[in-house]
Amino acid sequence: MTNEEAAHRKLAAILAADVVGYSRMMGTDEIGTLRRLKQLRRDVIDPTIDAYQGRLVKTTGDGLLVEFPSAVEAVTCAITLQHSLASRNETVARDKRIVYRLGINVGDIIIDGDDIFGDGVNIAARLEALCEPGGLCISGTAHNHVRDNVPVEFDDLGIQAVKNIARPVHIFGVSAEKISAIPAPATERRVSKIRFRKGRIRILGGVLFAVAIIAVVAGSGYWLIVRSPESTAPPQTGDLTPGDPKAPKTTRATIAVLPFASLSDEDSSKYFADGLTEDVISALGRFHDLSVISPSSVFAYKGKRPTPDEVGRDLKVRYVVEGSVRRSQQQVRVSVSLTDTAHGVLLWSDTYDSESGEILSLQDRITLNIAGSLANQVTSFELARSEAKPPTNLAAYDLVLQGRNLHSRARRDDNAQARTLFERATELDPNYAAAYVGLGWVDITAMTHGWTATPRAALDRAESYARKALELDDFSPGAHSLLGTVALYLGDYERALNELNRAIDINGSDTKAYGSLVAVRLWTGDIQGAIAAAELLIQLQPVMTPVDVFNLATAYLLADRGSDAVRILEQARDRNAINAFGNIILAAAYAQTGREAEAERQVEIVHRQFPVFSRQDFGSLQRDPRLRKKLANALEKAGL
């Protein structure tokens, strides 16, 4: 059956919603905004939709698209939602309130699988865009269905032409003030019942998970200190001043997974241990209550034997995971331990013996047990989301681990070899999303390093690989991060933001997504947002890449924080991690801070690297003309 034959039509009521000022809120408090949004989804929005027989079709960052069997159910649900949200916002600071715009239309829609399309959907989206914050806009068609059936008096907003819709639409609206004056809907009791039922399910899920963890630990035969992390962990810090080096600016439990030691001599066992380390980091990163240090930072400890308290001080983490891998042709043994860095207390340890063919389930077992020891930090909701789609072929998994290892070296020959390994993995397991993500990053690396004569074709391939991976696993943070990075290079900043936020929503410790997010915010003129994202990236990846250093230094310069730009650029230069463009910003930062002699020496370095340097062409990605001019003036002041 073709896609056209599978699609069919029906009449439905469609509600479109999005959050007012979402990008601004994410820029100022990304973690807090996501946390509040998820809590509202769990406690208010999803139960209310269920209570009125709605079907959540999809989410797009802050947006929702919901299908209802009738206009009355849709409108009553919308009024109930806005009433409940307004009540909750009464105790929330104004700049942290999550306020929705809602639009409803009744029309013909095309159903294709779980998705819906057509003018019926498009008109609802246009109505939502026209709605005032906290209010509701409905089409004339919807109004005909509800005017005698709901106790709400709508204002006639007239007939208006809306974008990309052939015919004008008659629009009716109700303001936030009118909604607040309406008595709490009597049907809110239905929502309470839904919420109670879901709460029971969450509690039951938590109990079952606890039982499962106890069963695994009891059967292991290995020593375990039975002590709750909350009794040994240091008090969590609140928000600190940006840039304060004393403590992380997050209340999430911070954790570093040190490179698993390979106890075998073969090179294959070493890359296997490295790959398993990265997979455990990635899996733990899906838990939003954990802040996980990136692989690039922890691999600095490879081959060394630091104490947990040293790692805790260096990376400012509360917990350290250590492990070892012994691999033979027939068997794999993985030993893992979890230590509280503040008190040097071993919280948990275990050893896993597995046949080589069972290694695909081994990573999940390790991740679940680590999460079990931090169960007070992890909700059952996040546990459910931590399940990624694994490969069905062990050889494909092995090839992807080898490919990642080669790709991380950022050398042309290694990048080409990584491509070959990822391609072989897709041949062995055509449904393995991680292999396609690997291929996409190979193309991105080839493009950014100038290793291809056809950079646009490489970018197109990367986008194709990302979309293929998302078809196979929409919960793949790597695929969303890859697609967002492609959109960044294409200059489609809005799409890039949506995809990168989606990647971070799935994996709150995805450093590639954060790195690209910094660039998007920088070049769209959201300088404070870029700095906030970059400073959070530093917590996850204390050793920044040259590109990330350049982006943050540029943001500091444009925010008139030249001394901060000098600080991070000099640190990067001392590590030989400053790129040629970083030298340009360092010259401007020296000039901005009155260090003329150092600026002159830095300008000489730039002229050696770029004999025909033109400040007019530099920073052309910046969309804000005022910021482009400010950057040009800073370069001119430095003598460039």
pLDDT (tens digit per residue) in 155-181: 888 888 777 676 788 899 998 888 887
Please give the pLDDT value at position 273. 82
The domain locations on the chain are: 3-185, 215-379, 544-640
Please give the pLDDT value at position 230. 31
Phi-psi region of 533 (alpha: psi -120 to 50; beta: other; left: phi over 0): alpha
CB 561 within 8 A of CB 612: no
Angle between helices 433-448 and 477-490 (to 10 degrees): 30
CA 294 from centroid of its chain's CA atoms:
14
pLDDT, mean over the chain: 77
Among 18-22, 60-64, 339-343, 375-379, the minimum mean pLDDT is found in: 375-379
CB 569 within 8 A of CB 589: yes
Please compute the mean of the pLDDT values over residues 336-356 and round it to a whole number.
75
Instruction: Specify the higher pLDDT residue, 145 or 8.
Output: 145
CB 502 within 8 A of CB 257: no
Angle between helices 477-490 and 511-523 (to 10 degrees): 20
The CATH code of the domain at 3-185 is 3.30.70.1230
For residue 2, what pLDDT band results from cuts at 50, 70 and 90?
A: very low
Question: Using CA atoms, how far apart are residues 552 and 366, in angstroms rounded to an integer?
Answer: 35
What one-letter code names the amino acid at 191? V
CB 540 within 8 A of CB 509: yes
Please compute the mean of the pLDDT values over residues 500-519 and round it to a whole number.
84
Please give the pLDDT value at position 559. 92
SS3 content of the chain, % helix, strand, coil (to 5): 55, 15, 30
Print the SS3 string covering 492-547: CHHHHHHHHHHHHHHCCCCHHHHHHHHHHHHHCCCHHHHHHHHHHHHHHCCCCCHH
Please compute the mean of the pLDDT values over residues 302-329 and round it to a whole number.
84
- The closest alpha carbon to 397, from 556, 271, 223, belongs to 271
Please give the pLDDT value at position 369. 58
Instruction: Specify the higher pLDDT residue, 311 or 408.
Output: 311
Q: C-alpha distances in angstroms, 508 versus 290, 481, 533, 540?
A: 8, 12, 12, 10
Among 179-183, 284-288, 318-322, the minimum mean pLDDT is found in: 284-288
Question: Using CA atoms, how far apart are residues 410 and 421, in angstroms rounded to an integer?
Answer: 15
pTM of this structure: 0.53
- Express as a percent the part of the chain with pLDDT over 90: 17
pLDDT for 532 beyond 80? yes
Question: Using CA atoms, how far apart are residues 229 and 218, in angstroms rounded to an integer?
Answer: 19
pLDDT for 375 beyond 60? no
Annotate 309-325 with DSSP letters as a single string.
Answer: HHHHHHHT-SEEEEEEE
- Express as a percent the part of the chain with pLDDT over 70: 80
pLDDT for 28 beyond 80? no
Pairing of strands 319-327, 261-262: parallel
pLDDT for 202 beyond 50? no
Residue 452 burial (CB < 10 Å; 0-12/13-18/19+)?
middle
Please give the pLDDT value at position 177. 85
Secondary structure letter of residue 289 according to DSSP: T
Among 26-30, 253-257, 624-628, the minimum mean pLDDT is found in: 26-30
Question: Using CA atoms, how far apart are residues 301 and 277, in angstroms rounded to an integer?
Answer: 12
Please compute the mean of the pLDDT values over residues 500-505 and round it to a whole number.
85
For residue 438, what pLDDT band results from cuts at 50, 70 and 90?
A: very high
Long-range contacts of 201-205 (CB under 8 A, 24+ apart): 202/379, 202/380, 202/381, 205/380, 205/383, 205/384
**Hey, which CATH number is domain 215-379, 3.30.530.20, 3.40.47.10, 3.40.50.10610, 1.10.620.20?**
3.40.50.10610
Terminal alpha carbon distance of the chain: 63
pLDDT for 507 beyond 90? no
Count how many Cα atoms sit within 13 Å of the Cα of residue 585 in the half-sphere of its side chain.
Answer: 32
Secondary structure letter of residue 235 according to DSSP: P
For residue 288, what pLDDT band results from cuts at 50, 70 and 90?
A: low
Among 110-119, 192-201, 259-268, 503-512, the minimum mean pLDDT is found in: 192-201
H or E, element range at 117: strand 115-117
What one-letter code names the amino acid at 222? Y
Among 22-36, 199-213, 459-473, 577-591, the minimum mean pLDDT is found in: 199-213
- Summarised one tens digit per residue, pLDDT across range 534-571 is 888 887 777 778 888 899 999 999 999 999 999 999 88
Domain covering 544-640, topology: 1.25.40
Question: Using CA atoms, how far apart are residues 276 and 401, in angstroms rounded to an integer?
Answer: 8
Please give the pLDDT value at position 553. 92
pLDDT for 252 beyond 80? no
Please give the pLDDT value at position 458. 92
Please give the pLDDT value at position 436. 95
Question: 396 CB contacts (<8 Å, ≥6 apart)?
Answer: 425, 426, 428, 429, 432, 435
CB 75 within 8 A of CB 146: yes
pLDDT for 226 beyond 50? no
